[in-house]
Amino acid sequence: MSDLFNFSAGPAMLPKEVMQQAREELLNWNNTGVSVMEFSHRDPAYVKMARQAEQDLRDLLNITDDYEVLFLQGGGRGQFSAVPQNIAAKSATVDYLDTGIWSGYAIREAAKYVSKVNVAGGCLETGKGKAIAPQEQWQLSDNAAYFHYCTNETVDGIALHTPPAGIEAPLVADMSSNILSEPLDVSKFGIIYAGAQKNIGPSGFAIAIVKKDLLGEPQPELSSIMDYQLQAKDGSMYNTPNTFAWYLSGLVFQWLKRQGGLAGIGQLNQQKAQLLYDYVDQSEFYRNEVHPDYRSIMNVPFQLADDSLDQKFLQEAAAAGLIGLKGHRFVGGMRASLYNAMPIAGVQTLIDFMDQFQRKL
């Protein structure tokens, strides 16, 4: 099975080296004779590993001491309700960009907890494809408790590559599908959060990077396990964390450091995406409908000229060892997710397959 490439959007492929290490130490972690899954999260050896994982993440992203780094449960969507309940009052207005399917979910969840969710802007069609409306067109509220957007829309393949400047409200970003994919200036954000299963580790786990000065009075009904202040006070161990996911994420952070950190992996990610977009753009048979300035580096949706061939494409791709290419059920077509763990050889193999597929028709 060594030639298999997994383009799944999430849970997604993890670095092979990390998976091999996890397998080797699965039954005997740290020379203890037991699995990391069988360890108490209060055990000094486990705590040491957990704190090292936090430090490695801080190193990768240059996170300063004025931010909490929280390891939480409930995936990306758990944060859709945690954010408003932690940093907005029930009477608050909050601003959201609506740029795709995940933004839509975040907006509908937030609406349960605050008096007004103002959709400040969204996408528009241009002659060069689908784009995010320029910032001059956004309708911001006065005194919004925060401004939320999704940096990378996993389903739609649309990304806002630079954080908006000059917004008064703290920026809150859902980075579930592009965190750790390129260098990032954390200091521009109030909160960054991400479900783990795209670029970090196993699903059900989430990371929140929260500026300390945003933590004041949470909404009274906020569940304790989602309470940023409480979790920060207890080192993200208010309740039993997902100990295995934390461990595996830690291995991924160390792997990332070995790849030259975010600068190193960022360059490779650019190269991978460029290869695939260039191929799609020169092709008469495949197309991507996103404006070049807003194309995702992580998730590349593409359509076949004749969608009655979709099934055949997927079957033959799987037979060639290329799996997970089916587009999201809401949008159809294909999607190749090129997260950090996808080697460039995977992209090259995909392009060769796509080329042969359309030549044979």
Annotated binding site for L-glutamate: 42
Q: How far is the CB of 334 from ligand PLP (least distance, A)?
A: 17
What angle, rounded to 10 degrees, do the helices at 44-61 and 261-282 form?
Answer: 60
195 vs 357 by CB, closer to ligand PLP: 195
Beta bridge partners of 301: 335
Reply yes or no on whether 102 is catalytic. yes
Q: Distance between CA 6 and CA 354 in Å, rounded? A: 15
Q: Which residue is nearest to ligand PLP (CB)?
A: 75
| Residue 174 known to be catalytic | yes
Query: Which among 191, 234, 237 is positioned nearest to 214, based on CA atoms?
Result: 191
Distance CA 271, CA 341 (A): 14
Question: Which of residues 154 and 340 has its CB atom nearest to ligand PLP in the complex?
Answer: 154
- The distance of closest approach from Cβ of residue 158 to ligand PLP in the complex, given in angstroms and rounded to an integer, is 11
The two three-digit tokens of residue 68, written as one number: 């909490």
Beta-sheet strands, E only, within the chain: 5-6, 67-73, 93-98, 116-126, 129-132, 147-150, 152-153, 158-159, 171-174, 191-195, 205-211, 286-287, 299-304, 322-323, 334-337
Phi, psi of 311 (to 5 degrees): -60, -45
- For the chain, helix, strand, coil in percent to 5 are 40, 20, 40
- Write down the least CB distance from residue 167 to ligand PLP, Å: 20
Phi and psi at 298, nearest 5°, equal: -95, -40
174, 227, 246, 255: which one is catalytic? 174
**In terms of residues, how long is the chain?**
361
46 is written with which tokens?
């486990």
Least CB distance from residue 152 to ligand PLP, whole Å? Answer: 6
Least distance from C-beta 262 to ligand PLP, angstroms? 19
- How would DSSP label each residue in 319-337? HTTEE--BPPTTT-SEEEE
Binding-site residue positions for pyridoxal 5'-phosphate: 76-77, 102, 154, 174, 197, 239-240
- 343: preceding bond cis by omega (within 30 degrees): no
Report the residue number, 173 or 322, with the smaller CB distance to ligand PLP: 173
| Selected catalytic residue, list 98, 130, 198, 255 | 198
Q: Which residues are annotated as a binding site?
A: 42, 76-77, 102, 154, 174, 197, 239-240
Binding site for ligand PLP (CB under 6 A): 10, 75-77, 102, 150, 154, 174, 176-177, 195, 197-198, 203
Strands 129-132 and 147-150: unpaired
List phi, psi (to 5°) of 260: 90, 25
Q: For residues 46 and 241, which CB has a smaller minimum distance to ligand PLP in the complex?
A: 241
Place of tokens 């950090």: 340
Nearer to ligand PLP, 117 or 304 (CB): 117
Q: Pick between residue 56 and residue 109 the one whose CB is nearest to ligand PLP.
A: 109
SS3 282: helix
Shortest gap between Cβ of 39 and ligand PLP (angstroms)?
24
Active site residues: 102, 174, 198
